[in-house]
Amino acid sequence: MSRLFPVCLSLVLAVVVLLSSAPLAVEAQEATPGAEGALATLDPVAVGLTNPRGFTWAEDGTLYVALAGTGGSNLPTEEADIIEAF
């Protein structure tokens, strides 16, 4: 038991020293580059989409968005609302 005590004490002290130095490492870090300055403004290009799942652009710059809809077993009818391109 007398040989085990110094080893355990050394391990405990090593852990305490490592844990006590962790806040110093965090405080030494600088702010993330680009985090300061004016915020960019975003303009939405489409609103009211029903469960958008993905998007892609055509070569001419047209944006295509895939919509999942709301689900259900109803098929579209001829009287369904036609959604114009945005």
pLDDT tens digits for range 23-41 = 666 665 666 666 555 677 8
Residue 86 domain-assigned (yes or no): no
Query: How many structural domains are present in the chain?
Result: 1
Residue 60 domain-assigned (yes or no): yes
Range of the domain at 13: 3-67
Residue 74 domain-assigned (yes or no): no
pLDDT tens digits for range 40-51 = 787 888 888 888
d(C-alpha 22, C-alpha 20), whole Å: 6
Residue of 53, 28, 43 whose CA lies nearest to 86: 43
The alpha carbon dihedral of 43, 47, 51, 53 has a sign of negative
| Residue 60 in this model has a pLDDT that exceeds 90 | yes
pLDDT at 19 (0 to 100): 79
Residue 32 domain-assigned (yes or no): yes
